[in-house]
Amino acid sequence: MRAEPVHFNGARHTGNRSVLMNQNSQETKDRLYRIRHSLAHVCAQAVLEHYPQARLGFGPPTEDGFYYDFDFNGAPPQEKDLPRLEETMRRIIAARQPFTRTELQAPEALAKAAALRQNYKTLQIENLRAKGETCFSFYDNGPFSDLCEGPHVAHTGELPAKAFHLDHIAGAYWLGSERNKMLTRIYACAFESDAELAEHLRRRELARERDHKKLGKELELFTFSPMVGKGLPLWLPNGCVIRDCIEQYAREMEFRYGYQRVATPHITRAELYVRSQHLPAYKESMFPPMVIEDRGEDGVVTGSEEYYLKPMNCPHHHMIYAHRPVSYRELPMRLAEYGTCYRFEQSGELNGLLRVRSLCMNDAHIYLAEDQVKEEFRLLLKMYGEFYATFGLKDYRYRLSLRGTENREKFRGSDEMWDRAERILREVLEETAHPFDTGIGEAAFYGPKLDVQFKNLLGREETVSTIQIDFLGPENFDLNYTAPDGQPKRPVIIHRAPLSTHERFISFLIEAYGGAFPTWCAPLQVAIIPVREDVLGYARGIESELRNLGVRAEVDTSQNSFNKKIRSNLKLKIPNLLILGDKERDSGAVTWRRYGEEGQEQLASATFRERLLEEIRARQRRVPANS
């Protein structure tokens, strides 16, 4: 057998939605892995019982259960049919069928797959044989047999009869390629005990409660209109406050780190993107061009120009860099812009704010000499850490994304360029002791990148932001600076976007905070609730004092009862409630109730103002008790 574990019925895919169990970890051979792996077989067995015409694809364990892909030949089951399959699975489990392993040479293995009429297994044997595999194992239980590496439990009676749940059905391409047939994938959750399954389902339910699409609607942060177009978010006043606060923070941080702000238009002539190589590489992902025709006096078209909505800010920034000769003394030159870009993402990929067609990027390009790259990278890692600490985001890791061996043509530029860039990235990470892992084939077309991978509520990883080294852009645009010896030299470019896009970053924050934003970036910072009508004047006074200081405070002047006012402001997750009644008015005080915290505090209104302003100035985040 080969040293690297072969996964006969485990699909190789890198999709980040259904995370496969790590095959190389110690978990690999453990009990849960065997249970999930064996349940996948039992699932396929049940499917064949109900759908004899079905053909089996891959069926690997995943982070929370397993899936199995089937070709149902035109008659796939629906989700309402899943309970019936579960019942059959339980019957197979009750039958305590032993799993037996058979090892076969290629000809026998192919004969067996043919006898089982499992054409996808035949293909898999052939694929593995082409890679040098000579020995193939099958696992049999009862009437069922499947090409599989194992391991499995001893018999089906060891499988938990209730701690699994056939969850949902989705399409998935054979071998993960869109050129292949779309199979039907049955997803399942599976655990060792009923309690673990219940806990998993409960956590998933909680995550759904915090879904940014749901909270975005409830808290009136953003909306979509079919009249405007799919994937084109409309930011409502509340959501726009969050954007503005984040943007203000980025401006302050970037100013401290020596960035200069620039602004560029939303449309650009095609030439710019031809030069940058974006147009050849990403034409399919760009909105089609606007064509401006030149006409002669007789109305005949004499020529035309194409304009594109910009999918990236970088080429514009390069043109700003190039508008006059640059001295080495000016480097690193850091040009920053919260730039709005438009990308024609595939319609099926659009997802709330997470994947959109118009996005506003916390973009900057740093032009510098090659010997400055390492130091700048250290600064960047420091800045990233500061940003994420402020937002209270801790669950992230760095991924060094490199070229892959497959589709080399995607990656432009010389090998020497790539090696230099990769070496610099690796060295800085090691010298600064930032733990990281590598993602082969995840690089940008112009260079390797450092991706920041955040875990969302369901434990799935999403790339939130990146740092990229680019030796290609300076070549494409013939960018230079004047070196101390008076000669022109090529700068290097670093692309970076620590706060990602407003769309993606805020969707993360909504879910991470469960909609309860810290005071500094909350749409409404202080809700003022008068206990009775005759303290309304006092409430108004407090309100205008706060508003004059730039605090977003509002008196709840609705006709609601006092209790209802408390309730409705809590539902909106307003971080600070001020309760004002006779007691407070007579002593110039306020009663301060914070969202998500037990108890409340009565204090002089001047003291409250000071403490609140300090909290906002420092961009503090108090962690609510319930999160």
DSSP state of 181: P
Nearest CA-CA partner of 73 in 60, 58, 88, 57: 57
Q: Which residue has the tokens 């409430």?
A: 539
Interacting span for RNA (CB under 7 A) from 95-103, 292-300, 330-338, 342-350: 342-350
Closer to RNA by Cβ: residue 283 or 619: 283
The span from the CA of 597 to the CA of 577, in Å, is 11
Residues in contact with 73: Cβ distance below 8 Å, sequence separation at least 6, in sequence order: 53, 54, 55
Burial of 133 (0-12, 13-18, 19+ CB in 10 A): middle
Indicate the residue among 199 and 349 with the shorter CB distance to RNA: 349
Nearer to RNA (CB atom), residue 350 or residue 379: 350
Strands (E) in 319-448, as ranges, are: 333-342, 358-368, 396-402, 436-440
Q: How many CB atoms lie within 10 A of CB 586?
A: 10
Q: Hey, which residues between 187 and 216 contact RNA (CB under 7 A)?
A: 211, 213
Among 182, 292, 618, 625, contact with RNA (rule: CB under 7 A): 182
Site track 232-251 with RNA (rule: CB under 7 A), x = hit: --------------------
Nearer to RNA, 260 or 587 (CB): 587
Q: How far is the CB of 125 from RNA (least distance, A)?
A: 21
Helix H or strand E segment including 464: strand 461-470
* Cis bond upstream, residue 288 (ω within 30): no
Tell whether omega for the bond before 332 is within 30 degrees of 0, i.e. cis: yes
- Work out whether 24 is an interface residue with RNA (CB under 7 A): no
**CA-CA distance, 575 to 337, in Å (whole number)?**
30
User: Taking the complex as a whole, how short is the minimal distance between the CB of residue 46 and RNA, in angstroms?
Assistant: 19
Count Cβ atoms below 10 Å from residue 563 Cβ, excluding itself. 8
Site string for RNA, 522-541 (x = CB under 7 A): --------xxxxx-------
Residues with Cβ within 8 Å of residue 418, at least 6 apart in sequence: 403, 411, 447, 448
CA distances to 503, 521, 569, 624 from 516, rounded to whole Å, are 17, 10, 12, 8
Measured CA to CA in angstroms, residue 224 lies from 209, 213, 289, 351, 589 at distances of 20, 10, 24, 11, 43
The pairing of strands 436-440 and 396-402 is: parallel
CB of 95 to RNA, least distance (A): 30
Q: For the segment 298-337, give every residue that binds RNA (CB under 7 A).
A: 311-312, 314
**Length, in residues, of the chain:** 627
| Rounded Cα–Cα distance for residues 391 and 517 (Å) | 10
Which span (52-60, 234-242, 348-356, 391-399) binds RNA, by CB under 7 A? 348-356
Candidate residues 41, 112, 121, 593; the one interacting with RNA per rule CB under 7 A: 593
Least separation in angstroms between residue 302's CB and RNA is 31
Site for RNA in 549-578 (CB under 7 A): 558-564, 566-568, 570-571, 577
* CB of 512 vs RNA, minimal distance in Å: 17
Q: Which of 84, 217, 266, 423 binds RNA (CB under 7 A)?
A: 217
The answer to whether residue 29 forms part of the interface with RNA (CB under 7 A) is no
Q: Nearer to RNA by C-beta: 482 or 568?
A: 568
Q: Is 297 in the site for RNA (CB under 7 A)?
A: no
Residue 578, classed as helix, strand or coil, is strand
Closest contact distance (angstroms) between CB of 415 and RNA is 19
Q: Where are the beta strands (DSSP E) in 224-273?
A: 234-235, 260-261, 267-269
- Count of residues that interact with RNA, criterion CB under 7 A: 79
Residues within window 597-616 making contact with RNA, judged by CB under 7 A: 600
- CA–CA–CA angle 278, 368, 444 (5° rounding): 30
Is 351 among the residues that bind RNA (CB under 7 A)? yes
Using the structure block, give the residue that is written with the tokens 């001893």.
154
Q: Which helix (H) or strand (E) holds 176?
A: none
Site for RNA in 158-177 (CB under 7 A): 168-173, 176-177
Q: Segment 462-501, which members bind RNA (CB under 7 A)?
A: 466, 468, 495
| Residues in 253-272 at the binding interface with RNA, rule: CB under 7 A | none
Interface residue with RNA, options 2, 5, 16, 438 (CB under 7 A): 16
169 versus 379: smaller Cβ distance to RNA: 169
Number of neighbouring beta carbons within 10 Å of residue 314: 23
Q: Which residues, numbered 57-96, are part of the site for RNA (CB under 7 A)? A: 76, 78-79
Of residues 424-453, those binding RNA (CB under 7 A)? 444-445
Q: CB of residue 13 vs RNA: minimum separation in angstroms?
A: 4
Q: Which is nearer to RNA, 180 or 302 (CB)?
A: 180
User: Is position 346 an interface residue for RNA (rule: CB under 7 A)?
Assistant: yes
Task: Confirm or reject binding of residue 582 to RNA (CB under 7 A).
Answer: yes
Cβ nearer to RNA, comparing 211 with 306: 211
Tell which positions 396-415 bind RNA, by CB under 7 A. 410
CB 409 within 8 Å of CB 449: no
Q: Which of 185, 365, 399, 403 binds RNA (CB under 7 A)?
A: 185
Q: Closer to RNA at the Cβ: 230 or 266?
A: 230
Q: How far apart are CA 328 and CA 367, in angstroms?
A: 10
Task: State which residue, 16 or 414, has the beta carbon closest to RNA.
Answer: 16
Among 378, 581, 603, 609, binds RNA (CB under 7 A): 581
